[in-house]
Each structure stands twice: as C-alpha cells, then as structure tokens.
Amino acid sequence: MRHHDLVIIGAGSGNAVVDDSFADLDVAVVEERWFGGTCLNAGCIPSKMLAHTADVVRTVREAGSFDVDAVLDGVRWRDVRDRVFGRLDEVRDRGRDGRMDDSSVTVYEGTARFTGPRTLRIERADGAVEVSAGQIVVAAGGRPVVPGPVTEAGLPYETSDTVMRIDAPPRRLAILGGGYVAAELAEVFGATGSAVTIVEKEDHLLGPQDETVAERFTELAGSRYDLRLGRELTAVGGRPGALRLTLDDGSVVEADMLLVAVGRVPNSDRLDLEAAGVATHDDGRVVVDAHQRTTADGVFALGDICTAVPLKHVANREAKVVAHNLRHPDDLISAGQGPVPAAVFTRPQVASLGATEQECRDRGLDYLVGTADYADVAYGWAMEDTTGFCKVLAEAGTGRILGAHLMGPQASALIQPLVVAQALGIDAATLAGSPYWIHPALTEVVENALLDLGL
C-alpha cells in the first residue's frame, strides 16, 4: 500500500488546495471525471458564457425599443458551443496535464472509496490501487438529482452536466424544476429558439428568493415560457425525440427533449465514508466544523459535498481555509459565518444577500423595507427598464442590513456594495450618506433603496 502525506479526492476546488507551499509533501489527487470540477466543465462558467450570448440575442431582438432597426439572422449554436467549450476544455486539460507533470503530485484518474481510517481504494481503468495518507481532503462535489419517474421511464433526458454540449437546441424543451439552474438554462435555450415549458411543483419560480423577486420574476417568465406551476411529474412516455410528460393533474406536456433541473445531491454516498468514521447530515452533506474538519481525525472536507450553500465562491473560500489549516494546525482559521451572496444570470438578473422579507417576518424581526425601481433613476431611463428594482431590509433602530434583493440588469454587480457593508458592519444610513454615489450610474438604484428606509 502506497502512502502519501496528503490525498485530495476531487480536482475541482480541491485542486486549488495545493500550491507551492506543499512542495515538500508527497501529495496525490484523485479525480474520476473532470479536472476543474462542475464549475468549469458543466456549471458556473459555461452557463454564464451561454447566458451572455443569450443576452446578446435578446438585445438584438429588442433593439426596436431604442429606435434601432436590427434583424437577428440566427444563432449558430454549434459555433457558440464550440467557442465556449473549446476554451474551457483547454483550461481543463491544461490543469490536468500541469498536475500530472508536477513531480511532487501523483494523479490518480479513477474513483476513490474509503476502506478504513485514512485509507482508500482507487478504481482505475488499469486496475485498483490501495493508498493510505497522513491527511485527506474530501472535495468530491455533487451531482444532479434525477427523480424516479424519469429514471424509470428509460427514455433519454439531459441534466446540467450534459445539456450545454448538445449538437442542436430542441424545437420543444421541457424543463423539470424552477430553481436557478432551470431559469438560466431556460434563458439560454429560449434565446436560441426553443419553445420552453417549465414544470415546477411550487407556485413560483425561484421559490427560495425574496417573495417580491419570486413573484415578479415568475410573472416575466410567464410571458416567455409555458409555465406549469404547482404541478409534479408522474410519468414520462413517448419515444426519444417525442416525449410525453404526464403531470399530477392529468395534463400532458409534449417535448423533443427533457432537461431535469430539480436540484443537486452531494456525492458522499459514493465514498464509503462510514469506513473512515466520517459522519454525514441527513441530506448527505459531510459534517464539518468551523475549520472544515470532519468527524474523522486528519480528514477535511470542502465544497458541495459538505456546504449548505453549494456555490463556487463558497468552495473557493473553503479551499483557502483547508490549505491554511493543513499547513498550520496550531493556527486554525475558518471561512466565517456571514451571509453568502448569490446571483441568477437570467434576463433580468437576480441577486440576493441575507434574509428575505418572509424570513424576517417569520422570525418576528423588527425590520424596515426600502425599495427603489430602475425606472426611477436616470440610467434606468437610458436602459428603458420598467421592471427592475432593489429591495433592502434593515433592522429598525440600528439600520443593520439584514438582506438585500435586486432584479434587473447588472444585479450581480450592483449588490456588491451591500455585501461589503453587511460584512464590515456598516449600517444602511452610513452606507447611503457617507460615500459618493456616481450620477447617473445604475448604482443610484441601490442608494435610493437605502434612503427609502427612512433612517
């Protein structure tokens, strides 16, 4: 059995743990599929590259609003796809090859399972190997959830892992799920010409968002797509390329392709964690403490396999924490417990931070609400935007920012001053009144929402 000082399971954010400071250690990286992880290969980056292309398409289509005569001749999907993945696959391969050329790092291309405390069996194409390690980092990520009615049908379906690499957009696309993955990919394929039907068991899309965002986004989406809200899938029939989705009210959705986007699940069930003494939560997430240590001595975890907020910027932060703590066991650090901002890259964009209004209400907080519309600031006029808004929630009396929610162009960037303020403990009145806010920049919508709190 070969022994390594450190073994990292997963070469997504896990690959970022090892830098030059680990050169004196015997390090191994185990990856079964993609160097760069979900984000690079089938998640954040390709979806946003495609979403920006979709944004360009809609800009051309809506140019008449600005008295510009423009005609969209078409979207060359294969060229778009190949531009996106030609670039990203090169980055993936360069990262893999760089690790394989590193004399201090051993790369195992295969699947790992624990056989005991800090011991692993790695299944590779050329046979299995057993290794032990002084320390192990579990960064094996997650995968899309596929409901029983889909798998039982035995008919083709796509997930976010596969759909962005298809050869051609379908004429009719059915999307199961109404969260951010479903919303972003509906944006992409709707812009390329697919007729999109979304089946969502909740009454609104983006249900976890603030209630105002969810209501307004759903209303806008309803003008573009066929929404089947409050409905669940009971069966999939038909044949490849001509699917029939039966819903719980007896209605049928006909589609050429089915995209399943109902959520993700940690890959913890594939690692035999119990053999190593690594505990998991009921939902499969690996249990970690504030320093990313699991319940097993010498085993750390990071990213989607353990976090309650499965976002790339969270995994990146946790990778830095693990890297430090591996090298400095007497000076442990943590990722912090502050609210994590998030964004949905649709048209319009959505960005969120902290508590929603329904959460404030349910927790019985004494809070204030400040709102401002894009249509009421000068740059909103320039953009002819009539639906965008900013909503800020603050604690009455102190002005402490509890949450913030934006829907509209550049929302993912506009929320950042509020993120900084909350992280640094800057109250809403100070944030509104102390810095200059550029006129007539779109950031005035944030300033106006803060002023609307009346503090």
> Which residues participate in catalysis according to the annotation?
439
Distance CA 244, CA 214 (A): 28
Sign of the four-CA dihedral 269, 270, 272, 276? negative
Inter-CA distances, 284 with 37, 62, 260, 269, 310, Å: 19, 45, 20, 7, 13
> What gap in Å lies between CA 11 and CA 51, rounded to an integer?
25
Q: Round to whole Å and give the CA distance between 326 and 398.
A: 40
What residues does 369 pair with on adjacent strands? 393
Residue with tokens 């015997």: 26
Q: Which amino acid is at 288?
A: V
124: phi then psi, degrees, rounded to nearest 5: -120, 170
Question: Residue 237: in which H helix or E strand, if any?
Answer: strand 233-239
DSSP assignment of 163-188 = GGG-SS--SEEEEE--SHHHHHHHHH
Q: Is the dihedral of CA 78, 79, 83, 89 positive or negative?
A: positive
- Calpha distance 9→92 (Å, rounded): 17
Please check whether residue 302 is in contact with residue 311, taking contact to mean a CB–CB distance below 8 angstroms.
no
Parallel/antiparallel/unpaired status of strands 142-144 and 264-266? antiparallel
The full length of the chain comes to 455
> What is the rounded (10 degree) CA torsion for 156, 218, 84, 155?
0
CA dihedral 402, 406, 410, 413 (to 10 degrees): 10
| C-beta of residue 9 within 8 angstroms of C-beta of residue 271 | yes
Query: Environment class of residue 446 by beta-carbon count within 10 Å: exposed (0-12), middle (13-18) or buried (19+)?
Result: buried
